């Protein structure tokens, strides 16, 4: 019996497993002890603990709220949700514009046109080397001082207004068929993608090119418009009443300044990633493309970029993550995202730093993991195609 | 195997010591302060008259004077204070984590803060209330006319909550633009991001005096809340709580007795004054301080009235009247428990 155990312990594989299990147990026990100790200390110091505070009334107002139901009478949990949504919205907006701008600037850096190339280089050098916090504050103060006061708002067709406090848009009223318009738009887009795919396939097989523009116009633009008029969707227009605009949707100037600064800053890194991606593509590929009669744009779009992105995507993933984390600098300009609302105001009202920081970290961790996951899937797809 | 044994032994010891630490937590802030030779005091990042640094880094204000009084009482030298500027959001964590020995930063005494943060308020050094500052050009005379307006406020303050309460109970709409520091809040107001700035009335006067054009703004007469401001300490050290509480009380008591920094060392036959001078009584013993603790406070910092007039009184740019912060004997509510 004992010798059997001994020989088992001498078996390398078994030993490795046993040690790993032991290590995990020790670490888990250690973490448990540390946490227990922490909670005990907190209790002894008379600090409230637990997650009960989430159901308490929040009691404060939030400036940016895109579509959730929130008022000072809502709970801290609802405030938490508003924070998450606001973080996501500014991150997604930033990622979108940073990608578009980064792609354009990255390609421009390798342009044969001297002026375009230089402008792209200067832009990257300037905005990459100034700390992001300063840029956020800079754009915020520019926005505050350039846009007019609410009374002198820039007016687009009496339905959209822009002033130094934000952008005010008409708000569709949900009940009155808005859903159907949205649904028809989605159906239109899906149908168009399907048709486009079929035409691509036909092109691959027979070389016949079909023009799909008509389908695009019909499905993506015409169909929802018809539904829109059929249902007579109601819009709530923003109106200047007293000090500010009321009604409609408003996007605060803080949101714009933050999203703008994040896009401008992150685009420089994305541009550099794109550039190095393009440079990594063997010049023979471009030569072959032009020998086959592809135009410059075609060669870029069909030959160079797909291969360049393969190299560029991993660093771009990092930039997306950085942008999301940088969005927590919002507190400086008062955009109400997760950190401002939750680890700022709620933490100060209820004072439970540990619980609140843990929840905040979990949200960022989840967002980061999801972004990595999506882009890794995309990355894998690109890799196989290239080989 | 040997290594594994070592590893387990090390981790067991670590865990053991960890668990021991969980025993009764007892801190001795007085001893720490005296060992360091200086008091670390949390103040604001700059609130004129309460706590603000001048161009050479010298701090002054009535909140600063409370820190100085505690330093005088515990170290015999009012100048031995290290000031840590804190935003509203940072202050409580800084105190409970032990980064500062006490907090004296226009902090409102509320039920939640006193009972669930592991902190205790040591008294009130200024009775305040929340007020509003608006652009003169708006032609507004009362808060009631501010329906639908935007307000610049600071995160982590009672201001955020009072504002929401007030507009809710009056069924009015409002927008809040929330910044981190008072400089940013003021910046938002100056750049016309908001129609009004709301904060404790005492701070509005100070903020207004630092605007680029002070005459462009007016402070409304309305006061929508009560904000008793005072020093805060950690809950786990009762002696330290008493030291801070009675340092402030000594300043109030001295004013009541008519003793100032100029007259504290004058011979007196009054038993009250003699106790303050440390010539009789044993008020120092239970605090663990030397006999001249309260004498040092008055000699080096002055009594409450002197501190008030020097920092926020009518002869300063802040120009606050004594109002309710007058002694109870003179119609105010300032009152130190019996000094015996
Ligand atoms: N008394 C209130 C408000 C205190 C407060 O932080 N007021 C702001 C007024 S704008 C301030 O003094 N800020 C100075 C700073 O952030 O350093 C509280 O305790 O919550």
Q: Residue by residue, what is the 3-state secondary structure of chain A?
A: CHHHHHHHHHCHHHHHHHHHHHHHHHHHHHHHHHHHHHHHHHHHCCECCCCHHHHCECCCCCCCCCCCCCCCCCEHHHHHHHHHHHHHHHHHHHHHHHHHHHHHHHHHCCCCCHHHHHHHHHHHHHHHCCCHHHHHHHHHHHHHHHCCCHHHCEEECCCEEEECCEEEECEECCCCCHHHHHHHHHHHHHHHHHHHHHHHHHHHHHCCCCCCHHHHHHHHHHHHHHHHHHHCCCEECCEEECCEEECCEEEEHHHHHHHHHHHHHHHHHHHHHHHHHHHHCCHHHHHHHHHCCCCHHHHHHHHHHHHHHHHHHHHHHHHHHHHHHHHHHHHHCCCCCHHHHHHHHHHHHHCCHHHHHHHHHHHHHHHHHHHHHHHHHHHHHHHHHHC
The pLDDT value recorded for residue B22 is 43
User: Which atom of ligand 1 approaches the CA of B45 most closely?
Assistant: 17
Q: pLDDT tens, B39-54?
A: 999 999 999 999 999 9
The pLDDT value recorded for residue B20 is 45
**How far from chain centre, in Å, is Cα B46?**
12
The pLDDT value recorded for residue B144 is 94
Q: Which residues of B touch A37 (CB under 8 A)?
A: 18-19, 21-22
The pLDDT value recorded for residue B337 is 95
The pLDDT value recorded for residue A224 is 79
pLDDT at B302 over 60: yes
- Higher model confidence: residue A300 or residue B153? B153
Q: Average pLDDT of B231-246?
A: 96
CA closest to B3 among chain A residues:
A19
Interface with chain A: mutation pick from B158, B167, B175, B241, highest number of A CBs within 10 Å: B175
Residue list, ligand 1 pocket, CB within 6 Å: B 44-47, 87-88, 106-108, 154, 157-159, 181-182, 185, 199-200, 203, 227, 229
Question: CB distance B236–A348 less than 8 Å?
Answer: no
Kindly report the nearest CA distance between residue B105 and chain A, in angstroms.
15
The pLDDT value recorded for residue B3 is 55
The pLDDT value recorded for residue A387 is 46
Residue nearest (by alpha carbon) to ligand 1 atom 10: B182
The pLDDT value recorded for residue A176 is 58
- Range with the poorest average pLDDT among A302-306, B33-37, B78-82, B187-191: A302-306
Q: Predicted confidence band at B10 (pLDDT cuts at 50, 70, 90)?
A: low
- Which residue segments constitute the domains of chain B, with CATH numbers given? 29-127+229-330 (3.40.190.10), 130-225 (3.40.190.10)
For a substitution probing ligand 1, which of B50, B92, B182 has the most ligand atoms within 8 Å of its CB?
Answer: B182
Q: pLDDT tens, B175-191?
A: 999 998 888 999 999 99
pLDDT at B9 over 60: no
The pLDDT value recorded for residue B6 is 58
The pLDDT value recorded for residue A10 is 77
- Range with the poorest average pLDDT among A146-160, B140-154, B238-252, B289-303: A146-160
Q: Which residues of A touch B138 (CB under 8 A)?
A: 243
Q: pLDDT tens, A363-377?
A: 999 998 998 888 778
Q: pLDDT tens, A111-154?
A: 889 999 999 999 999 999 999 999 999 999 999 988 988 888 88
Q: pLDDT tens, B281-300?
A: 899 999 999 999 999 999 99
> Of the candidates A40, A45, A243, which has its C-beta nearest B148's C-beta?
A243
The pLDDT value recorded for residue A19 is 87
- Higher model confidence: residue A198 or residue B102? B102
Q: Average pLDDT of A273-280?
A: 93
Percentage of chain A modeled with pLDDT above 90: 44
- Range with the poorest average pLDDT among A176-185, A284-293, B139-148, B324-333: A176-185
């Amino acid at each position: 019996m004992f010798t059997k155990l001994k020989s088992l312990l001498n078996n390398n594989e078994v030993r490795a497993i046993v040690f790993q299990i032991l290590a995990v147990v020790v670490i888990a026990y250690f973490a448990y002890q540390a946490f227990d100790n922490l909670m005990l200390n907190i209790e002894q110091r008379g600090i409230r603990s637990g997650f009960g505070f989430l159901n308490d009334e929040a009691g404060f107002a939030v400036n940016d709220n895109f579509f959730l139901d929130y008022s000072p009478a809502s709970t801290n949990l609802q405030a938490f949700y508003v924070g998450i949504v606001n973080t996501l919205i500014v991150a997604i907006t930033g990622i979108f514009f940073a990608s578009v701008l980064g792609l354009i600037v990255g390609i421009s850096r390798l342009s044969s046109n001297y002026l375009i190339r230089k402008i792209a280089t200067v832009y990257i050098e300037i905005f990459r080397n100034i700390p992001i916090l300063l840029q956020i504050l800079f754009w915020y103060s520019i926005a505050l001082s350039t846009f007019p006061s609410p009374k002198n708002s820039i007016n687009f067709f009496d339905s959209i207004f822009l002033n130094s406090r934000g952008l005010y848009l008409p708000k569709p009223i949900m009940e009155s068929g808005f859903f159907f318009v949205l649904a028809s738009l989605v159906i239109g887009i899906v149908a168009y993608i399907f048709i486009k795919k079929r035409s691509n396939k036909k092109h691959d097989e027979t070389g016949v090119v079909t023009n799909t523009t008509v389908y695009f116009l019909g499905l993506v633009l015409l169909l929802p418009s018809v539904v829109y008029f059929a249902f007579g969707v109601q819009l709530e227009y923003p109106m200047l009443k007293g000090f500010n605009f009321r009604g409609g949707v408003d996007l605060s100037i803080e949101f714009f300044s933050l999203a703008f600064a994040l896009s401008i800053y992150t685009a420089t890194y994305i541009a550099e990633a794109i550039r190095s991606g393009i440079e990594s593509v063997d010049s023979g590929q471009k030569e072959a493309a032009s020998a086959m009669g592809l135009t410059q744009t075609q060669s870029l779009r069909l030959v160079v970029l797909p291969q360049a992105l393969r190299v560029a995507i991993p660093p771009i993933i990092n930039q997306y993550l950085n942008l999301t984390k940088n969005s927590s600098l919002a507190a400086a300009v008062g955009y109400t995202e997760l950190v401002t609302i939750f680890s700022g105001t709620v933490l100060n009202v209820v004072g439970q730093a540990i619980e609140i920081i843990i929840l905040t970290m979990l949200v960022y961790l989840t967002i980061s993991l999801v972004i990595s996951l999506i882009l890794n899937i995309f990355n894998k797809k690109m890799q196989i195609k290239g080989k | 195997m040997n290594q594994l044994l070592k590893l387990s032994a090390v981790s067991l010891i670590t865990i053991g010591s960890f668990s021991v630490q969980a025993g009764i937590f007892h801190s001795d802030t007085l001893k720490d302060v005296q060992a360091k030779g200086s008091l670390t005091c949390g103040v604001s990042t700059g609130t004129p008259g309460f706590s603000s640094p001048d161009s050479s880094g010298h701090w002054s204000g009535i909140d600063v004077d409370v820190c100085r009084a505690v330093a005088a009482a515990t170290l015999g030298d009012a100048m031995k204070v290290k000031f840590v500027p804190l935003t509203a959001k940072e202050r409580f964590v800084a105190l409970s984590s032990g980064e500062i020995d006490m907090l004296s930063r226009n902090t409102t005494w509320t039920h939640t803060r006193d009972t669930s943060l592991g902190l205790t308020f040591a008294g009130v050094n200024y009775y305040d209330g929340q007020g509003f500052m608006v652009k003169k050009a708006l032609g507004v005379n009362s808060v009631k006319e501010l329906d639908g307006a935007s307000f610049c406020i600071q995160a982590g303050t009672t201001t955020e909550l009072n504002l929401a309460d007030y507009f809710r109970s009056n069924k009015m709409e409002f927008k809040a633009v929330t910044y981190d520091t008072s400089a940013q809040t003021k910046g938002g107001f100056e750049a016309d991001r908001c129609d009004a700035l709301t904060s404790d009335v005492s701070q509005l006067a100070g903020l207004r005096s630092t605007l680029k054009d002070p005459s462009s703004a007016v402070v409304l007469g309305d006061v929508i809340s009560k904000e008793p401001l005072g020093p805060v300490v950690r809950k786990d050290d009762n002696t330290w709580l008493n030291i801070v509480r009675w340092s402030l009380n000594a300043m109030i008591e001295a004013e009541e007795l008519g003793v100032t920094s100029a007259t504290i060392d004058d011979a007196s036959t009054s038993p009250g004054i003699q106790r303050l001078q440390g010539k009789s009584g044993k008020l120092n013993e239970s605090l663990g301080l030397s006999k001249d603790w309260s004498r040092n406070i008055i000699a080096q910092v002055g009594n409450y009235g002197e501190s008030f007039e020097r920092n926020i009184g009518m002869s300063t740019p802040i120009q606050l009247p004594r109002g309710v912060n007058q002694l109870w004997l003179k119609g105010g509510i300032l009152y130190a428990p019996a000094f015996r």
